[in-house]
Amino acid sequence: MSASAFAGFGLPVRADLAESQERAWQAIAAPGTWLDGQRRLAVAAEIRHAIGCAHCARIKAALSPNGVAGAHDSLGELSAAEVELIHRTVNDPGRLSEAWAQSVLAQGMSEGEYVEIVGIIAMVMMMDTCTRALGLPERPLPAAVAGAPTRYRPPGARRQAAWLPLVEPTDTVEADGPMYPSPKAGYIYRGLSSVPQSMRDYWALANCHYLPGQAIYRFDLPAMRAISRPQTEILAARVSALHQCVY
């Protein structure tokens, strides 16, 4: 168990889960595909800051998110488009729309930057929710790793079933690197596929917090966690309902 992730917690934590969080923080601090390490950490800091945004609270309470004027309370390190993407995704994701997504892109953000930021949001919120649930403080952000983004765009990425481009399993190429555990991977698995490294980083973390992708539909496998598979799915269904996730 990693001391930096779960220091002070009195109960055992699976080694693979603790290690997955350490790897995830290292990945967030390193240059990505479209953002360098410093900007990725600025995104992580803004994700945490967004939770207390008063403007977001007014949006969340309003009948329509489009009827609230004002500005987000930000740390001032990111562009207005990045702040809007982060704050709305963190605080009111159930009412995002394709028109809203296009308005964010219209402010000068590229599709790759959008997807990479969403991947960081998903990772930071997963880890912070885990430590918060255990009554532990947030892990301090690591130091940025120097280097330039790769700026790799998969040749098979195209807009079909989603607001932004996806790479279907049949359209992957060797240069993309490992992508899917199965050709039948669901669309929730494909969501970050136009930025393959973000996709890999996210699922390496998520697989340790839930189940490996190749085990999702294998109900015949022995229990992989301290609780049974039915107990796992009951918890997942309850959390999904509370978050109004209809997936």
Residues 181, 190: Cα–Cα separation, whole Å: 11
Residues 216-243 have a mean pLDDT of 87
Q: What is the mean pLDDT of residues 13-32?
A: 95
pLDDT at residue 140, rounded to an integer? 94
* Per-residue pLDDT at 4: 62
- Report the SS3 class of residue 158: strand
The residues spanned by each domain of the chain are 13-153+200-242
The string of pLDDT tens digits covering residues 172-201 is: 999 999 999 888 888 889 999 999 999 999
Model's pTM, two decimal places? 0.93
Q: What is the pLDDT of residues 148-168, one digit of tens each?
A: 999 999 999 999 889 999 999
**Residue 1 in this model has a pLDDT that exceeds 90:** no
Mean pLDDT, rounded, for 210-229: 84
Measured in degrees and rounded to the nearest 5, phi and psi for residue 102 equal -65, -30
**The two structure tokens encoding residue 147:** 């280097």
Of the candidates 166, 180, 163, 22, the residue with the CA atom closest to the CA atom of residue 89: 163
Least Cα distance to 138 among 2, 7, 1 occurs for 7
Q: Average the pLDDT over 57-76 and give the result.
A: 95
**Residue 2 above 80 pLDDT?**
no
Which residues have a Cβ under 8 Å from the Cβ of 116 and sit 6 or more positions away?
32, 33, 34, 35, 40, 195, 198
